[in-house]
Amino acid sequence: MDPQQLVAVHEIEQLKARYFRLLDTKAWDEWGEVFTVDARMEIPESDTVLDGRTEIVARVSSIIGPASTVHHGHTPEIEVLGPDDARGIWAMADLVTWTSASGEPRGFQGYGHYHETYRREGGAWRIATTRLERLRKDRC
């Protein structure tokens, strides 16, 4: 891997770290900036396909905005395809809980992989496509 590719991999790792931090801290405007304007998000387990940064932020914030969340990404496999294009797979784990009407937490802990493509726009790497494929989901 040449030095430019190493820099790209590091920048994409930083991008995904921001994705998780901003999602969990509910910084929705900043979280939206990790995506390209025309990004696509797919979550097959819920038959969800969201097109465009605006729709992604609106839908995700409405669903998990009231929840307490913790997302972790691990062991990235990133392949730089060109100066402005890359793809990657991240192992992931998340904990998502809401407070029920009775005051008890309800939710799930999940495990799986993000399959993503990245595009550099305006000098910054952004997520162009993301597909969350869960391997396991435990109710809590």
Domain locations along the chain: 3-139
Who's near 54: CB < 8 A, 6+ residues apart?
32
Question: Residues 95, 70: contact at Cβ < 8 Å?
Answer: yes
pLDDT at 30: 98
pLDDT at 10: 97
pLDDT at 63: 95
Give the closest residue to 114 by CA, choosing from 74, 85, 69: 74
CATH class for the region spanning 3-139: alpha beta
| Paired tokens of 58 | 């609106």
pLDDT at 103: 83
Who's near 60: CB < 8 A, 6+ residues apart?
23, 41, 50
Question: Residues 78, 9: contact at Cβ < 8 Å?
Answer: yes
pLDDT in tens, the chain (140 residues): 899 999 999 999 999 999 999 999 999 999 999 999 999 999 999 999 999 999 999 999 999 999 999 999 999 999 999 999 999 999 999 999 999 888 888 999 999 999 999 999 989 999 999 999 999 999 98
Question: Residues 126, 35: contact at Cβ < 8 Å?
Answer: yes
Task: Kindly provide the b/e burial profile for residues 65-102, where b requires at least 16 CB atoms within 10 angstroms of the residue's own CB.
Answer: eebebebebeeeebebeeeeebbbbbebebbbbeeeee
Query: CB atoms < 10 A from the CB of 116, how many?
Result: 24
